[in-house]
Chains A and B, each alone.
Chain A
Amino acid sequence: MEIIKNFPCLSILMCMFAAIISSALNGKWAKWLNAFVLTAVGAMSLAVLYLTVSTGESYIYVMGHFPAPFGNEIRFGSLEAGIAFFFCVIMMLSLNGGRKKLQFEINPSKENLYYIMVDLLLSSLLALVYTNDLFTAYVFVEINTISACGLIMITENGHTIEAAARYMIMSLLGSGLFLIGICLLYDLTGHLLMSNIRVGIDAIVTNGTYKAPLLVTIALIVVGLAIKSALFPFHAWLPNAYGYSTVSSAAILSSLVSKGYIFLLIKIIYRVIGFDTFRDSKIINVLFVFGLAGMIMGSLSAIRENDIRRMISFSSVAQIGYIYMGFGLGTTVGMIASIFHILSHAATKSLLFVSGAGLTDVSGDRKEFIELTGAAYRNICAGLAFTVGSLAMVGIPVFSGFVSKLLFSQAAVQNAHKLLPTLIALAISTILNTIYFMKTVIRIYTPVKSKYTSVSVKENPLYVITLLCFVVLNIVLGMWSQPITDWIAQGLSVFA
Chain B
Amino acid sequence: MKEIGEIHLPDDVRYAEDHEWARLEKDKIRVGLDDYAQDQLGDIVFVELPQVGDTFKQGEEFATVESVKAVCECYLPVSGKIIAVNTALEESPELVNNSPYGDGWFVEVNPGDLSEMENLMTHVACLEKLKGAE
Partners in one complex: no
